[in-house]
């Protein structure tokens, strides 16, 4: 029975402590008030598991750590399970027992690789793991009917855990360990166990068969060995005579390759030199004809630039004069004599000054325009000459740069280079395009190094004259093959002799072992018979226990359905093969679960859970948590549910009654009920607030 639950910064709870007693405890409040968080706190503290997405999601927003602590009684002892989590994801866990008022630590953490696991210790004492407890004792919101949706095999496994058949597994495992230890002791003493008698018998037969084949085979290989040793001695004498020549053959090939490689490189270098000198001649030819008139061109270019500047000045002066005359012309149009009087001073004059006569000004402007046109044509001609002289001068400078780059001073140096090219071409034309062993003499005249290599080749050819490399390779191959054959025969003879000795020894050992293992087998078969008939979870004992449990659950569930006032009169749970089948009966017929209404299915699920709860009354943790159990139930069934829970908490076990925790937002259904404790949950802006009513 759970006696207290403490939450610190856990989900919406900052600091909440709930105390529990026997019977029914109810959590009431609106959705989101933090009621279901208590379930997560209990399962997290006990098993480290919950319904949220991650452990970090358990920490209240705005804080950096959270904890959940559950205190509970089992079999007259008091325990406490506590787990902590911080924002880094680090977990801390501690499981303690109250001994004479002092909390003594039993386990801490989850270092399963070191055999330390708080969860394992909790499961051992409660008798259920998280998954089994969740199905049997914790009914999440909207999942009351999950028990009838579970797969038949899962239902059977749950039933096994509730009625303690898992303990048969422990006993069966112990029997297995006993049998295993017995066989291991036998295996340590004689090297085998009784499961290997047939294998050993076949091995014994195989060893006898091998002996029949090995002994004649040994004589055959001894005869072959003598023959190969004689042939090998003859081949070695021939090999020692021809072997020294092979080194000279290798030297000869190496010298030929060296001469060919060197000659090719030398020819390539000469050809490169010829190409470079020919390129030098191509680029330098024609440069001298550009270099000579450089000074004259520079003078002419300078004179042209002077003429251009002078023409530009004259054009500018005439342009300025034209602008002045145009201004006077505009004034002259306004100054006209009238009755031989001046339009300005009104004095008597014969005629106006020519500078204010319109006709005179037009003539002057036309004359200036003619002179400007003439000067612009001259300027255009000078510009063309400047471009021509600049291009020629640039060619001269480029030619000088080329000659400086190649250090060529005059035409005679180019002629000398041309003669060198012709001489090198003439010398290289004597050398064949493809160098082979047949034309090495022609290559030898290339330089002193090629001559030295050729003489060395000639000497080696004389020393290896008449040597047949193919015959030598065949001789060497024959000798190696013969040696390989001898080595293989020695290996086979050694293996055959070893196998003969091994088989004879193994035959004696196996015959003695088989005799002892027959006695061991009789004893092991007796142990297996006990394990199969007594401790097997599908054996007679387990089947009988399940039959009793299924019958008990069926009877109690049927009683609860009667109290819930449904058309279903009876529920029958029956084991079939490896599954548990649920069958529902009305007064007249068998009912299909799928054909029942949602409320009826919930009633069946609740009846089954209550039937299991009655069975759990004799187990370690007498607890059932129902989260919104009245969903899909009408008013009459809701009232019946409260009455059934109250009766169950009082009647299941007088000394150790069933404990119920009910989570609901329908507080009115408990107004006139016999409920030991009611907690009201309210949601504020900062946290969930819990008040005992």
Q: How high is the pLDDT of residue 574?
A: 87
pLDDT at 432 over 90: no
The pair of structure tokens assigned to 225 is: 């060995």
Single out the residue of 61, 55, 69, 60 nearest to residue 9, CA to CA: 60
Single out the residue of 553, 531, 552 nearest to residue 540, CA to CA: 531
pLDDT at 654 over 80: no
For 267-320, how does the pLDDT look when each residue is reduced to its tens digit (9 = 90+)? 888 888 888 887 887 777 777 666 666 677 778 778 888 888 888 898 898 888
Q: Bin 656: left if φ > 0, else alpha if -120 < ψ < 50, else beta.
A: beta
Q: DSSP assignment, residue 355?
A: G
* Helix or strand holding residue 269 (H, E): helix 197-284
Distances in Å between the alpha carbon of 126 and those of 47, 81, 109, 667?
11, 12, 18, 31
What is d(CA 91, CA 71) in angstroms, rounded to the nearest whole number? 19
Residue percentage of the chain with pLDDT more than 70: 86
Of the segments 177-181, 336-340, 462-466, which one has the largest average pLDDT value? 177-181
List beta partners, residue 4.
Answer: 19, 71
Q: How high is the pLDDT of residue 14?
A: 92
For 484-519, how does the pLDDT look when each residue is reduced to its tens digit (9 = 90+)? 888 988 998 888 888 889 888 888 988 898 888 888
Q: How high is the pLDDT of residue 100?
A: 92
Collect all residues with Cβ–Cβ distance below 8 Å to 280 and sequence separation of at least 6.
Answer: 406, 408, 417
- In 441-452, which positions are buried (b, 16+ CB within 10 angstroms) versus exposed (e)? eebbebeeebee
Q: How many whole angstroms from its chain centre is CA 336?
A: 105
467/646: higher pLDDT: 467
Mean pLDDT lowest among 4-8, 317-321, 458-462: 458-462
Q: How high is the pLDDT of residue 652?
A: 45
What is d(CA 277, CA 427) in angstroms, rounded to the nearest whole number? 16
Of the segments 195-209, 559-573, 601-615, which one has the largest average pLDDT value? 195-209
For 461-490, how does the pLDDT look when each residue is reduced to its tens digit (9 = 90+)? 787 787 777 888 888 888 888 888 889 889
Q: How high is the pLDDT of residue 356?
A: 60
Other beta carbons within 10 Å of 629: 25
Q: How high is the pLDDT of residue 58?
A: 93
Q: How high is the pLDDT of residue 618?
A: 44
State the average pLDDT for the chain: 81
pLDDT at 194 over 90: no
Q: DSSP assignment, residue 532?
A: I
Single out the residue of 419, 133, 373, 420 nearest to residue 270, CA to CA: 420
Concatenating the DSSP letter of every residue in 186-228 gives: HHHHHS--GGGHHHHHHHHHHHHHHHHHHHHHHHHHHHHHHHH
- What's the mean pLDDT in 57-86? 92
What is d(CA 453, CA 252) in angstroms, rounded to the nearest whole number? 10
User: To 5 degrees, how large is the angle CA 326–CA 328–CA 332?
Assistant: 115
Q: How high is the pLDDT of residue 51?
A: 85
Q: How high is the pLDDT of residue 98?
A: 94
Q: How confident is the model at residue 342 (pLDDT cuts 50, 70, 90)?
A: low
Expressed in angstroms, the distance from the first to the final Cα of the chain is 21
pLDDT at 134 over 80: no
Mean pLDDT lowest among 128-137, 143-152, 342-351, 571-580: 342-351
Q: How high is the pLDDT of residue 357?
A: 66
Going by DSSP bridges, is the β-strand pair 570-576/688-692 parallel, antiparallel, or unpaired?
unpaired
pLDDT at 333 over 80: no
Backbone φ, ψ for residue 412 (5° rounding): -65, -35
Q: How high is the pLDDT of residue 46?
A: 93
Q: How confident is the model at residue 133 (pLDDT cuts 50, 70, 90)?
A: confident
- What's the mean pLDDT in 414-422? 82
What is d(CA 491, CA 497) in angstroms, rounded to the nearest whole number? 10
pLDDT at 337 over 60: no
Q: How confident is the model at residue 653 (pLDDT cuts 50, 70, 90)?
A: very low
Q: How confident is the model at residue 433 (pLDDT cuts 50, 70, 90)?
A: low
Map tokens 């000198």 to a residue. 277
């Amino acid at each position: 029975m759970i006696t207290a639950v403490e939450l610190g910064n856990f989900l919406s709870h900052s600091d909440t402590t709930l105390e529990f007693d026997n019977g029914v405890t109810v959590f009431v409040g609106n959705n989101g008030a933090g009621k279901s968080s208590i379930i997560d706190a209990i399962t997290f503290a006990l098993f480290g598991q919950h319904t949220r997405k991650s452990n970090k999601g358990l920490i209240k927003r705005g804080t950096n750590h959270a904890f959940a602590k559950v205190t509970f009684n089992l079999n007259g002892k008091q325990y406490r399970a506590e787990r902590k989590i911080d924002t880094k994801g680090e977990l801390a866990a501690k499981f303690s027992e109250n001994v004479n008022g002092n909390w003594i630590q039993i386990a801490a953490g989850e270092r399963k690789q070191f055999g330390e696991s708080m969860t394992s210790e909790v499961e051992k004492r409660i008798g259920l793991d998280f998954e089994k407890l969740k199905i049997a004792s914790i009914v999440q919101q909207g999942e009351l009917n999950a028990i009838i949706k579970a797969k038949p095999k899962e239902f059977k496994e749950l039933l096994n855990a509730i009625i303690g058949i898992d303990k048969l597994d422990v006993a069966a495992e112990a029997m297995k360990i006993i049998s295993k230890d017995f066989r291991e002791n036998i295996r340590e003493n004689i090297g085998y166990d009784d499961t290997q008698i047939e294998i050993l018998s076949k091995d014994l037969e195989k060893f006898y068969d091998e002996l029949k084949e090995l002994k004649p085979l040994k004589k055959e290989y001894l005869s072959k060995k003598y023959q190969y040793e004689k042939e090998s001695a003859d081949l070695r004498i021939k090999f020692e005579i021809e072997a020294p020549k092979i080194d000279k053959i290798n030297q000869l090939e190496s010298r030929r390759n060296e001469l060919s490689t060197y000659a090719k490189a030398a020819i390539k270098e000469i050809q490169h030199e010829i190409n470079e000198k020919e390129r030098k001649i191509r680029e330098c030819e024609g440069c001298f004809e550009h270099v000579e008139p450089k000074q004259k061109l520079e003078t002419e270019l300078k004179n042209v630039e002077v003429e251009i500047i002078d023409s530009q000045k004259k054009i500018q002066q005439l342009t300025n004069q034209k602008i002045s005359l145009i201004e006077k012309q505009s004034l002259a149009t306004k100054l006209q004599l009238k009755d031989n009087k001046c339009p300005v001073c009104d004095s008597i004059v014969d005629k106006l000054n020519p500078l204010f006569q319109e006709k005179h000004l037009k003539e002057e402007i036309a004359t200036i325009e003619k002179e400007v046109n003439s000067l612009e044509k001259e300027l255009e001609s000078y510009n063309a000459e400047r471009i021509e002289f600049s291009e020629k001068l640039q060619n001269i400078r480029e030619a000088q740069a080329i000659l400086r780059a190649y250090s060529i001073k005059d035409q005679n140096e180019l002629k000398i280079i041309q003669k060198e090219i012709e001489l090198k071409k003439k010398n290289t034309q004597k050398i064949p395009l493809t160098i082979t062993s047949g034309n090495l003499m022609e290559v030898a005249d290339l330089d002193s190094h090629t001559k030295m290599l050729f003489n060395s080749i000639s000497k080696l050819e004389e020393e290896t004259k008449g040597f047949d490399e193919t015959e030598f390779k065949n001789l060497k191959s024959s000798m190696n093959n013969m040696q390989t054959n001898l080595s293989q025969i020695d290996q086979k003879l050694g293996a055959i002799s070893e196998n003969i000795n091994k088989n004879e020894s193994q035959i004696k050992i196996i015959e003695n072992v088989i005799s002892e293992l027959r006695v061991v087998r009789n004893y092991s078969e007796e142990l297996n018979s006990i394990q199969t008939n007594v401790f097997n979870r599908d054996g007679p004992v387990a089947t009988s226990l399940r039959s009793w449990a299924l019958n008990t659950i069926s009877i109690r569930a049927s009683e609860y359905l009667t109290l819930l006032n449904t058309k279903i009169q009876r529920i029958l749970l029956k084991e079939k093969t490896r599954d548990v089948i649920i069958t529902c009966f009305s007064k007249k017929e068998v009912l299909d679960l799928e054909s029942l209404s949602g409320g009826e299915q919930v009633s069946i699920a609740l009846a089954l859970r209550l039937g299991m709860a009655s069975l759990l009354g004799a187990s370690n943790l007498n607890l059932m948590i129902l989260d919104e159990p009245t969903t899909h139930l009408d008013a009459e069934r809701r009232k019946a549910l409260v009455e059934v829970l109250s009766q169950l908490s009082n009647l299941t076990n007088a000394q150790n009654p069933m404990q119920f925790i009910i989570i609901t937002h329908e507080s009115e259904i408990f107004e006139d009920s016999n409920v030991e404790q009611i907690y009201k949950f309210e949601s504020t802006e900062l946290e969930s607030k819990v008040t005992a009513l």
